[in-house]
Amino acid sequence: MRRRRVWIIAAILVAVTALVGAFLGGPSPPRKITLATGQRGGMYDTFGGLYATRLGRVGLRIDVVQSSGSLDNLQRLLRGEVDVAFAQSGTSSLVADPDSRLRGLAALYLEPLWVFYREGLAVRSLSDLAGRRISIGLPASGTEAVAAMLLREHGIDPAQPTIVRLANPAADEQLERGTLQAAFFVTSYRDVLVTDLLARPNIRLLSFHRETAYTRKFPALTPVKIPEGLLDLRRNLPAAEATLLAPSALLACRADLHPRVVEQILKVAQAIHSSGSLIDPPLRFPSRDGVDLPLHEAAAIYLTQGESFVSRTLPYGLLRWTPLLRVLLVSLILWIPAVRFLPEVLGWRVNRRFSRLYSGLRHAERRLEAAHDADELRARLADLDRLALEARPLCNRLPAGRQHDVYNWRVHVAFVRSQAAARLAALENEASQRRT
């Protein structure tokens, strides 16, 4: 019974410690997150599907939400509508974040700015697009942000009526019909839209000269040379070498995104992007270079030190339980030994009490032996009875396993008292004989 009680106490202590630790230790990694991508059919949307598939295999479900683009995604993050989002370098400064909640995870790849214009226009610079009807992407998109920035630099007001904001398919269609003279697109070279436009004989691609000046003025842009025929050797696309300006595509989140989720996302990013591409060198991405948001703490650790031991050895399904398992392990280490030695501690306290009682019994016995007459002996017997009475609460509290100590105590007290009582009887008899 005693051992069973001890283990019940241990179980209760472990459970209480685990509950308190789980409450104070923060939430477990989630089963599901929401990812904001971009326009339907665009590269953000395409990559979003790849991320959702790969993360779903490890037990992290992804709800993909399409959007207008980078600025829209950052605003959705701030409103708490999504957990992770694709974004474009150089656009975070255009979103008000007074509490500094936005964080970057990694730059993923370069996504060039493609400026296509109708054949027959004399366009050598963005300045030549003044007065033309051009599309600069959807409102709140990364394309709109970088296009507006560059147009202002060339003295063109992006708010004028000839500057329209169309989705990529609509801009492509109007450019083909001739109702648009030029269109801006920020997207990967893998986008089918790019190769389709390059293949059309009536559409031309603007090559940026003075790329050094552009990148000095706009650090978020990287010059990218597209050699002749790089995208399609058979069709020789592009037909001539072109220099483009490219922001980085990156992943953004809020500061409260769980570190285990960050690691899973970056593992997938590494699997998808580390091999490089026609314009990205191998092993360049994912990278902290090009991220113009404060880096998430877990992302900084991952990108500099690699994956954590826990994430490397445990599947995500178990990672969700690691905080609770860690608390349980700590509580077991703390409480099981404590409860195991609790009976020894209690036993030591009982032994100490009995040691004091026996010291008092020995003292009482010596005083009984030193008594010279019957009156003194009776007084000493009263002291002995008081000592036995003081020991009664302790004897009543002791468990069945220690009752042998109680009975030993009572036997010894009775033995001392019987000797003193016999001596008292002898003294009283002797005094009675003297009186007679």
Given the structure tokens 């283990």, which residue do they identify? Answer: 7
Side chain identity, residue 103: R
How many CB atoms are located within 10 Å of the residue 122 CB? Answer: 6
String of b and e for 126-158 (b: at least 16 CB within 10 Å)? beebeebbbbbbbebbbbbbbbbbbbeeeebee
The rounded distance, in Å, linking the Cα atoms of 297 and 92 is 18
Percentage of residues in the chain having pLDDT higher than 90:
56
- 8 Å CB contact between 330 and 21: yes
Query: What pLDDT score does 10 carry?
Result: 57
CA distance 302 to 105: 10
Query: Do 112-246 and 29-107+251-320 fall under one CATH topology?
Result: yes
Buried b (16+ CB within 10 A) or exposed e, 404-419: ebbeebeeebeebbee
The domain locations on the chain are 29-107+251-320, 112-246, 347-435
Hey, what CATH topology would domain 112-246 get?
D-Maltodextrin-Binding Protein; domain 2 (3.40.190)
pLDDT in tens, 226-285: 999 999 999 999 999 999 999 999 999 999 999 999 999 999 999 999 999 999 999 899
**CB count in 10 Å sphere of residue 53:** 11
pLDDT the model gives residue 384: 82
d(CA 278, CA 290): 19
Cβ atoms 412, 364 nearer than 8 A: no
141's tokens: 């998109």
Structure tokens at 247: 């922001």
Phi (first) and psi of residue 181, to 5 degrees: -90, -25
Name the nearest CA neighbour of 109 among 224, 235, 210, 238.
Answer: 224
pLDDT in the model for residue 181 = 96
For the domain spanning 29-107+251-320, the CATH number is 3.40.190.10
Q: Which of 32, 141, 31, 136 is nearest to 86 (CA)?
A: 141
Cα–Cα distances in angstroms (integers) from residue 145 to residues 1, 126, 324, in the given order: 75, 15, 45
Residues of the chain with pLDDT under 70: 1-27, 318-343, 345-346, 436
Rounded to 5 degrees, φ, ψ at 163 are -95, 115
Sign of CA dihedral 210, 213, 217, 223: positive
Give the Cα separation of 309 and 377 in Å (integer): 78
